[in-house]
Amino acid sequence: MLVTGFPAGMFQTNCYILAQDDARECVVVDPGQDAAEPLFEFLAKSTLTPTAVLLTHGHLDHVWNAYDVCEKFGIPAYIHPEDRYMLSDPGRGIGPTMQPFIAGLDFIEPKEVIELADGDSIERAGISFAVDHTPGHTQGSVVFRTRVEGENGPLDIALTGDTLFQGSIGRSDLPGGNHEQLLQSIADKLLILGDETAVLPGHGGSSSIGAERKSNPFLAGLSGSK
């Protein structure tokens, strides 16, 4: 399976593309600010066509180009209902200090939006994704999990958005954020995963559950048996 991505925009938000080997279809995760142009260039060169946009949460730096991608390919966006309002009104999710940054800009919800629920299973482009609701960074944050065939056998992947980073966790000081809830989500939904599970976060480099369990200072004392 192809799993690739690139950081985009002033927030350097990771946009991911996943596709089965030799497939013509793919899934796009979190096309944020300035992600559309490099994404379209990559898709044209690789002859891949997206079948869905998956959104880990509704913050502007993750959904900025969702409408453009969905409109170009006529595909749906998946998002948790708690964060859906940010697709058309992102200012409500970023707080008053950042709202002037988007003053005068219009944001439109994609024509087809499919709401996610905890425990959902999504089948797109021949890939199966499990959905875990992980509120705390936002109330509608989710993690998408899938399994890929690697050189050394099957590998579980968790696309964690802004819930868990390499060596850190998501902020909880924006509207809808809750620090204790975020830690509980990580303990309940991520620390129960195997150590080899790859962590593909919304910002920064990749990691693994084992590495974060061992060295992430924000996770000290959190329970989560494998």
Exposed/middle/buried for 78, CB within 10 Å: 0-12, 13-18, 19+? buried
DSSP conformational letter for 135: T
3-state secondary structure of 180: helix
Please list the ranges in the chain whose pLDDT falls under 70. 224-226
- The sign of the CA dihedral 150, 160, 59, 94 is negative
Output phi, psi for 53, to 5 deg.
-115, 120
Query: Which residues fall within 8 angstroms of residue 84, CB to CB, at 6 or more apart?
Result: 58, 109, 113, 115, 140
The 10 Å Cβ neighbour count of residue 85 is 15
Exposed/middle/buried for 72, CB within 10 Å: 0-12, 13-18, 19+? middle
Whole-number pLDDT of residue 224 = 57
The two three-digit tokens of residue 23, written as one number? 């497939």
Q: What is each CA distance from 128 to 6, 85, 154, in whole angstroms?
A: 22, 26, 14
Q: What is each CA distance from 1 to 17, 71, 95, 174, in whole angstroms?
A: 10, 26, 38, 36
Q: What is the pLDDT of residues 56-77, one digit of tens each?
A: 999 999 999 999 999 999 999 9
